[in-house]
Structure 1
Amino acid sequence: MSSALKLRRDTSANIAVATGAAGEVFVDTTKNTLVVNDGATTGGFPLARVSDVQTGLLNTATTGGTVNALTATLPTVNATALTNGQQIMLISSGANTSNAALVLTLGATVQASKSILKGSGQQLAPGDTGTAGYPMGLVYSATLNAYVLLNPATAVSVGSQWLASGLTPTYISANSFSLTGNQATEFHVGRRLQFTTTAGMVYGSIVTSVFGALTTVTMQMDLSQVLDSGLSVANLSILRADHSGVPVGDVPIRSVVVSSSTAFLDFTLDNATYESFELFYTCIIPVATSDTLSFRAAVAGVVQSTAVYTHANYAFLNTASNPGGVTGDSLIYLTPGGIVNNLATGGGTTGSFKLLGAASTTNNKVLTHQGNYFNTGGNFGGTLGFGEVSIPAAALSGFRLFFAAGNIASGTFTLYGKKRAF
């Protein structure tokens, strides 16, 4: 006749405070598993079931705390200390906004707070822990004395040229927004951004990024695109502007379309990133009946209007040429003096100029230009010339374009920078 062997049994709560004899086995009726005792350890050592291993129950938890100071508890673990290479799966409660750390509780033992790193010990980027519900795979490294995140959420996606920042931008104006915390390192000058707004996806380049109580970012938006109050996402370009992986070459910096009377246009120069600049202007129409497209340089943000300019040009009309030049002038002519017609159908003036040596603090700066124009006599002509800015001891911070006698009625201006080799 067969007989049944029955072991001592109780609930998880009661077994957790009991100390069994060495070799004694309890049956946990709450978890339907066995608990082996050593005669000294309260609660004994619960055995894992196949389903526990398959579902990851033993090393999976949802994070608490804050997005940068995470907490998590693995209640079924009997270990009291972390072991090198120990794997943990945490379900994120929200994307981090800066460096992150985790306080992990193993069973009833609270571990000291330890940083969450990635790679070979780098701090996390904003958004690396992913939005709520994102599964984070962590491994404890005794060498780093930290948790290493194996799958940072901002890792590059195949086929995408944008990285999720994990941050929520706050709309300020058509070309500016703010972020919590100091984000100036990732949101640095020159980096391209992709935005989600009410109007859809819009794009631009960072002009300034300043950290105070918040990080305030000012953009040069592409063409006629703007930010609006529906701004909800700001994604980062994969390529950085401060240490770019792009080979040297021409990079569009700013494009402006003038559609109503404008007194002047100011452009900012990023001498740290670009070694020279070229501006193209297309169909620039003056308000005045006959005018001269002109250039002035800026130093430390102040436009220079004193006699620091030298310029000369040739005006070509049919087979004739008309050379002219001025030394010690208060501006540089990009077209012959007083000759551009304001008739819209004539196209005004179209051309380009190169600005060389803008960053120099020992030499004068040089400008070369060429273009064509529709003159006051109703004829088309061409111009070729050069200019010099006699300010050797200071770098140029920017420049101003304007008509000498009146406003700009319409036209398109696009500034390019030739990348420096880092």
Structure 2
Amino acid sequence: MPAVPDAVAARPPRRPRRFRTALAVGAVVAVASTAVLSGCADFSKQDSERKAGPFSKYNESFEVKRPPKTPPPPPEGLPTPPPGPCVDPDPNVITTCLASTAAVTPGDERGDVTVVAERTTGKIIQAKRFSEHKVLWTVPGVDGSGDGGLIDFALSPTYRQDHLMYAYITTPSDNRIVRIAKGDVPKPILTGIPKGATGNLGSMFFRSANELVVATGDAGNPAAAGNPASLGGKVLLVTDFTSGKNPPPKILASGLGANPALCPSNDTIFVADGASNADRLSQVSNNALKTVWTWPDKPGLGGCAVTEGTIAVSTIRTQQIQTLQAPTPQKPTIDKPATVLDKQYGAIGRMRPVGNGLIQFATVNKQYGPKVVSQDDRVVRFLVPSAAGGGESNM
């Protein structure tokens, strides 16, 4: 079996507790080779044989340098667009013709390269504009029915040394976090996250070298979110990365609904989700969810990202990106969100910041969109306007 691809390292963090996006603040700058983990996964066997050796708790996180202060223009000197229905004339579209998407993260410091998960196929793909899809991993055995499948992914903070990748997946029996090493089958790290016909989507990121923050959906059962014995509808802190019988993760907050998306910023964790009576943006504070803003009309929040003090949220049903100014101790109240993108790309799912106002987002038209075009699904590079100023407050 070929080797798992190497990622280009970046400098160690200046602050050990600084939050990072999945895949090392979204940095996969170069890939030397392609590794495909294929075949059917026997998760029952993995569950009974969970020993996979120790995982270093002294991992060193890494990040890439920030982009220049002026957000760069779309890349120049690109090859001639290939013919066919997958070509999108929009210069901000990075890649097209993806299967139904899940997590997305920048693959370089400018945001010209993307790394995106196909939820239904289990593939993690690297691409840039007009390039072919390069499959970095294929996670075997995922159940892509409903809204399950390959939900999220993150590189080990010491990927250069251990070549480990973590994935949040749906199996035939549950949702779980698995660890993947080159030439090996996925090893379970956290199992038993409830699975339902819907409500399986979640989110995760490495907060530090030995802390993985995970947001889990309620699997269509709101009662699970309030049940301390259930892993559903929670923000969890995973600190044991062996595949033996691990202690239960710490619960950072309870009460999440459907499709929770984490968007960390400095020492703050924001999370977007869909509750029974409204969609909402919350802040994890003192082991609880503190509401930042609610959308009673339920536009269907698909993702969120924080960049330059602005929180961007994407919507599925109304096909928008809205922005809010992140609360601060000096200004804890939140002004009415501003719509900065409206129905240009269809239904928008997960988002990740590049830096200095730039984000990447993935469309989810094949799963939710009322209209699917030949280029769907796509990853787009977008400059988020500042949310400073604003209008009414709802706090």
* TM-score normalized by the length of structure 2: 0.24
Higher relative CO (Cα under 8 Å, sequence separation at least 6) belongs to: 2
Larger Cα Rg: Structure 1 or Structure 2?
1
